[in-house]
Structure 1
Amino acid sequence: MSGFKPLLAKAAVGAALALSAAAAFAWPDRPIELVVGFAPGGGTDITARTLASYLEKELGGSILVINKPGASGAIGLSQVARAKPDGYTLGMTNMPGLLTLPIERQSGFTAQDFTYLATLVRDPSAFSVSLDAPYKTLDDLIADARARPGAISYGSTGVGTDDHLAMVLFEQLTQVDLNHVPFNGAGPLRNAVMGGHAVIGGMNLGEAMPYNGKTLRILGQASEKRSELAPDVPTFKEQGVDLVFASERGVVAPRNLPPEVAKKLMQALDRVAKNPEFQGSMKQQFTEMDYLPGDQWQARLKEADTQFRALWAKQKWVE
């Protein structure tokens, strides 16, 4: 009998492992929530909704996009960070906010609170104005901003977002002073620019392009070179402003996600990113593919975090 109890213990452990494996294999057996920290209608929201439709097919379950706007995306990311790490709560992130929010404030999360699954796309920063605005080029804007320091309103999707930091860098490079006005997403911001409540809209290229020449005029976009998706929109660099900046959108889960679930999600995201139909959807949205799997993405984020902390030490973008 002395050897019987150890055998029972081993059998119990084996049974527990088998049940755990079976549960992971069955995942997902209920809807997954994909949390977006911005209002509906912006680039991050549209990317998330497009991704959800493709990811549903890969995972064989439904995905609900949940908008939790506020605090420049921090409310949504905090919810993901606090969620149970079971794969049923994911976050559609927007970098740099993913890194900059914990630098500038008590954000409710840190970069270490997540499992990094994949980054998918990048969307260059851009400056847009209404069609009746007096600015036809960046030079027009710079000249007026120098003549009237602090008088021109610049709308962003929130403090610490790529749109806000693009303004901070633009001010440094051109020695101008703009009046920053944060909004809860690109949808409300776009309406504010068209309604004359903000003179400049700091929206990503993909968020502004569907309206370019119709209700908005894009003065410049912050890619290294002109985007193939918007060849008529000049870069900041070719207009004499050495600004290259973009929003990078990826998917995270809470820290300590079970390895089996993480693997299944990463494999599904890899298939979506390589799907020509998904790539075509991103192209229609004027959004550039920039896929990296979780480990490579996390390595790039570590480098970016160092750069943003150096920028914060040099010039705090919020007091």
Structure 2
Amino acid sequence: MRRRQLIQLAASAIAVPTLPAFAQGAGFPNKPIRLQIAFPAGGPTDITMRSLADNAGKVLGQPVIVENKPGAGGTLPAQQLQSSPADGYTLAQIPLGVFRLPYTTKINWHPVNDITYIINVTGYAFGIAVPADSPFKTWADFVAYAKANPGKLSYGSTGTLTSPHLTTELIAQQLGIQLNHIPYKGSADLAQAIGGGHIMAMADSTGFAPLVQAGKVRVLNTWGDKRLDKFPDVPTLKELGLNIVQNSPFGIGAPRGTPPEVVNKLHEAFKKAMEEPSYVAALARYDMLPMYMSPAQYTRFAQDTFATEKALVEKLGLAKPS
């Protein structure tokens, strides 16, 4: 009898270490959650993600605090995940630039294997705009000047190796023109640069929409599959003869090894947050749309995008030396 009791006690002692993981999932969250985003305050990413975070916090019963981590082509939040506990309390926006990072710089982590993908929430609407007083009245004017003045037409983007930068370089490559790229940390800085006359054009998400409405810039093209409702007179790249569509989906990730029960709770909270009218309205301000992917769908998207971004980087000759 005593031997049986000792065996039962030993089994109980072995089982005890597994309890905190279950308790963590059951009691999660019991403190504020940090959501790091890749661009500065005041831009479309910041404004829309703050709306989403506010809605998710109400569902979770704990605040979701947005922290801005601009720079490095939008990859700093994803890098921060690599040194954060896998407990669900540190989350990151995952822009498309994360998937091209290993092809352009040396890192010791993997964008697919070392991130837990929770939910994709939206994507950007992009385009190229110029100051309202620019001599470029149409895209044809822009291209003609660039062909006549190689390397002299300056444009700004939201950072080196971001989707606006690489897509514009792809456009230039297909047209046989050479542009002068000036990187900025985000849409807010980029807006100041074009407003101050420091650049001749901007490649950005429709963070430039308020500038258009204020009569400060003119849009020459947009990059979606069809024209934007906000700019019905502006042609797409496809209409201009370029076989390019770019909407750059992004979502939310957590550190590798985050418990499945925590991932599920976060996913359900952010999914409900996406459905709130306040978030849909925030997206509409920039012609962005909800673009939902479940954890499994988002993980597959990450795997596929990791492969396609390699091809793009190599095509543009931007891959790091092997």
Same fold (TM over 0.5): yes
Kindly indicate whether residue 174 of structure 2 is the aligned counterpart of residue 186 of structure 1. no
Q: Give the AA of the match of 1:80.
A: L
Q: Give the AA of the match of 2:271.
A: D
Distance 1:241 1:20, change over 3 A: closer
Q: How many equivalent pairs are there?
A: 317
Q: Supply the RMSD in Å over aligned alpha carbons.
A: 1.8
How far did residue 213 of structure 1 move? 4.2
Answer with 136-145 or 34-43: which moved more. 34-43
SS in structure 2 of the partner of residue 110 of structure 1: coil
- After superposition, the C-alpha distances for 1:193-225 in whole angstroms (9 at most, x for unaligned) are 1111111111112x1112214212111110111
- After superposition, the C-alpha distances for 1:149-189 in whole angstroms (9 at most, x for unaligned) are 00011111111111111111111221110001111111101
Contact 1:113 1:254 in 2 (8 A): yes
What are the within-5 Å matches in structure 2 for residues 109-120 of structure 1?
109-111=109-111, 112-120=113-121
Answer with 260-269 or 283-292: which moved more. 283-292
SS in structure 2 of the partner of residue 24 of structure 1: helix
Distance in 1 (alpha carbons) for counterparts of 2:107 and 2:166: 17
Q: Give the AA of the match of 1:105.
A: T
Distance in 1 (alpha carbons) for counterparts of 2:221 and 2:265: 40
How far did residue 270 of structure 1 move? 1.8
- Counterpart of 2:209? 209
Distance 1:254 1:82, change over 3 A: same
How far did residue 91 of structure 1 move? 0.3
Kindly indicate whether residue 200 of structure 2 is the aligned counterpart of residue 199 of structure 1. yes
Answer with 192-201 or 102-111: which moved more. 102-111
What are the within-5 Å matches in structure 2 for residues 240-259 of structure 1?
240-259=241-260
Distance in 2 (alpha carbons) for counterparts of 1:200 and 1:31: 40
Distance in 2 (alpha carbons) for counterparts of 1:211 and 1:86: 41
How far did residue 144 of structure 1 move? 0.3
Q: Which runs of 5+ in 2 are unaligned?
A: none
- Counterpart of 1:83? 84
- Counterpart of 1:105? 105
Answer with 83-92 or 3-12: which moved more. 3-12
Question: What percent identity do the matched residue pairs reach?
Answer: 33
- After superposition, the C-alpha distances for 1:121-158 in whole angstroms (9 at most, x for unaligned) are 11122101111111121111000000000001111111
Q: Give the AA of the match of 1:122.
A: G
Distance 1:31 1:49, change over 3 A: same
SS in structure 2 of the partner of residue 237 of structure 1: coil
Q: Give the AA of the match of 1:58.
A: V
- Counterpart of 1:36? 37
Answer with 98-107 or 252-261: which moved more. 98-107
- Counterpart of 1:290? 291
Distance 1:23 1:308, change over 3 A: closer
Kindly indicate whether residue 154 of structure 2 is the aligned counterpart of residue 144 of structure 1. no
Distance 1:198 1:317, change over 3 A: farther
How far did residue 36 of structure 1 move? 1.5
How far did residue 242 of structure 1 move? 2.6
Distance in 2 (alpha carbons) for counterparts of 1:30 and 1:299: 31
Distance 1:19 1:315, change over 3 A: closer
Distance 1:211 1:318, change over 3 A: farther
Distance 1:252 1:291, change over 3 A: same
- Counterpart of 2:312? 311
Q: After TM superposition, which residue ranges in structure 1, 4 or more long, deviate above 6 angstroms? A: none
Q: Which runs of 5+ in 1 are unaligned?
A: none
How far did residue 302 of structure 1 move? 1.8
Contact 2:126 2:203 in 1 (8 A): yes
How far did residue 247 of structure 1 move? 2.5
Answer with 140-149 or 48-57: which moved more. 48-57
- Counterpart of 2:224? 223
Kindly indicate whether residue 276 of structure 2 is the aligned counterpart of residue 275 of structure 1. yes
Contact 1:36 1:66 in 2 (8 A): yes
Distance 1:37 1:109, change over 3 A: farther
- After superposition, the C-alpha distances for 1:213-260 in whole angstroms (9 at most, x for unaligned) are 421211111011112354343212222333211222200001100111
Contact 1:34 1:65 in 2 (8 A): yes
Distance in 2 (alpha carbons) for counterparts of 1:314 and 1:201: 23
Query: What TM-score, normalized by structure 1, do the two folds share?
Result: 0.93
What are the within-5 Å matches in structure 2 for residues 8-19 of structure 1?
8-19=9-20
Distance in 1 (alpha carbons) for counterparts of 2:143 and 2:151: 12
Distance in 1 (alpha carbons) for counterparts of 2:47 and 2:100: 22
Distance 1:107 1:187, change over 3 A: farther
SS in structure 2 of the partner of residue 253 of structure 1: strand
Contact 2:93 2:252 in 1 (8 A): yes
- Counterpart of 1:23? 24
Distance 1:98 1:17, change over 3 A: same
Distance 1:107 1:35, change over 3 A: farther
